Structure 1
Amino acid sequence: MGYLMKSGYGQMKLLGSRVPIEEALQDPKLDESKKQKLRLAQEAREFAEKELHLKSTKNYTSYVELGRPYVTYVVSAAYRWELKHYQWSYPFMGKMPYKGYFNEPDALEEEKELQQEDLDTYMRGVSAYSTLGWFNDPILSSMLRYDDYDLVNTIIHETVHTTLYIKNSADFNERLATFLGNKGAEQFYHKKEGTDSPTLKQIQNENADNKLFSLFISGELKDLEKWYKDLPAAERSESKRQERIHLIQEKFTKELQPQLKTDSYKKFPEAKLNNARLLLYKTYMQDLGDFERLYELLGKDYSRFIEQCKTLEKVKDPSQGLKDLIVSLSTHAKKE
Structure 2
Amino acid sequence: TWCFPVVGCVSYRGYFDRAKADAFADELRAERGLEVSVYGVPAYSTLGALPGDFFADPLLNTFINFPEGELARLIFHELGHQVAYAKGDTVFNESFATTIERIGGVRWLSERASPQAREEYARYDGRRRDFRALTHRYRKQLDALYESSASDEQKRAGKLALFAQMRADSEALKTGTWGGFSGYDAWFARANNASLGVLAAYDELVPAFEALFEREGRDFKRFYAEVKRLADLPKAERRAALGASGGD
TM-score range, shorter chain: 0.7 to 0.9
Residue 201 (structure 2) pairs with residue 283 (structure 1) = yes
Q: Which runs of 5+ in 1 are unaligned?
A: 1-86, 328-336
Aligned partner of 2:6 in structure 1 is 92
Aligned partner of 1:272 in structure 2 is 190
Residue 138 (structure 2) pairs with residue 224 (structure 1) = no
Check whether the contact 1:214–1:289 (CA below 8 A) recurs between aligned residues: no
Check whether the contact 1:108–1:123 (CA below 8 A) recurs between aligned residues: yes
Q: Percent identity?
A: 25
After TM superposition, give the deviation of residue 239 of structure 1 in Å. 4.6
Match of 2:69, SS state, is: helix
Residue 30 (structure 2) pairs with residue 126 (structure 1) = no
Give the count of matched residue pairs.
239
Check whether the contact 2:76–2:101 (CA below 8 A) recurs between aligned residues: yes
How has the CA–CA distance of structure 1 residues 158 and 201 changed in structure 2, closer, same or farther, with 3 Å as cutoff?
Answer: same
How far apart, CA to CA, are the structure 2 residues paired with 1:261 and 1:190? 26
CA deviations on 1:59-79 (whole Å, 9 max, x unpaired) are: xxxxxxxxxxxxxxxxxxxxx
How has the CA–CA distance of structure 1 residues 218 and 231 changed in structure 2, closer, same or farther, with 3 Å as cutoff?
Answer: same
The alignment's C-alpha RMSD in Å is 3.2
CA deviations on 1:66-104 (whole Å, 9 max, x unpaired) are: xxxxxxxxxxxxxxxxxxxxx111122222111122211
Q: TM-score normalised to the size of structure 1?
A: 0.60
- Kindly provide the amino acid, as one letter, of the partner of residue 171 in structure 1: V
Check whether the contact 1:178–1:284 (CA below 8 A) recurs between aligned residues: yes
- Kindly provide the amino acid, as one letter, of the partner of residue 16 in structure 2: F
How far apart, CA to CA, are the structure 2 residues paired with 1:182 and 1:173? 14
Aligned to 2:80, which of 151, 160, 166?
160
How has the CA–CA distance of structure 1 residues 141 and 109 changed in structure 2, closer, same or farther, with 3 Å as cutoff?
Answer: same
CA deviations on 1:123-161 (whole Å, 9 max, x unpaired) are: 112221111122222222223242332222222211110
CA deviations on 1:161-187 (whole Å, 9 max, x unpaired) are: 011111111122112111211221222
How far apart, CA to CA, are the structure 1 residues paired with 2:174 and 2:61? 35
Higher alpha-carbon Rg:
1
Aligned partner of 1:105 in structure 2 is 19
How has the CA–CA distance of structure 1 residues 220 and 320 changed in structure 2, closer, same or farther, with 3 Å as cutoff?
Answer: farther
After TM superposition, give the deviation of residue 242 of structure 1 in Å. 1.8
Match of 1:121, SS state, is: coil
How far apart, CA to CA, are the structure 1 residues paired with 2:134 and 2:65? 29
Aligned partner of 1:242 in structure 2 is 160
* Aligned pairs (5 A) from 1:6-45: none
Match of 1:120, SS state, is: coil
The structure with more strand, counted as a fraction of residues: 1
How has the CA–CA distance of structure 1 residues 262 and 96 changed in structure 2, closer, same or farther, with 3 Å as cutoff?
Answer: farther
After TM superposition, give the deviation of residue 189 of structure 1 in Å. 3.0
How far apart, CA to CA, are the structure 2 residues paired with 1:262 and 1:243? 24
- Kindly provide the amino acid, as one letter, of the partner of residue 33 in structure 2: D
Aligned partner of 2:235 in structure 1 is 316
How far apart, CA to CA, are the structure 2 residues paired with 1:241 and 1:229? 12
- Kindly provide the amino acid, as one letter, of the partner of residue 129 in structure 1: Y
CA deviations on 1:196-255 (whole Å, 9 max, x unpaired) are: x23124435655665565455444323311211214445356454222233344456669
175-184 or 106-115, larger mean C-alpha shift: 175-184
Aligned partner of 1:307 in structure 2 is 225
How has the CA–CA distance of structure 1 residues 179 and 201 changed in structure 2, closer, same or farther, with 3 Å as cutoff?
Answer: farther
Q: Which runs of 5+ in 2 are unaligned?
A: 51-55
Check whether the contact 2:92–2:205 (CA below 8 A) recurs between aligned residues: no
Q: TM-score normalised to the size of structure 2?
A: 0.79
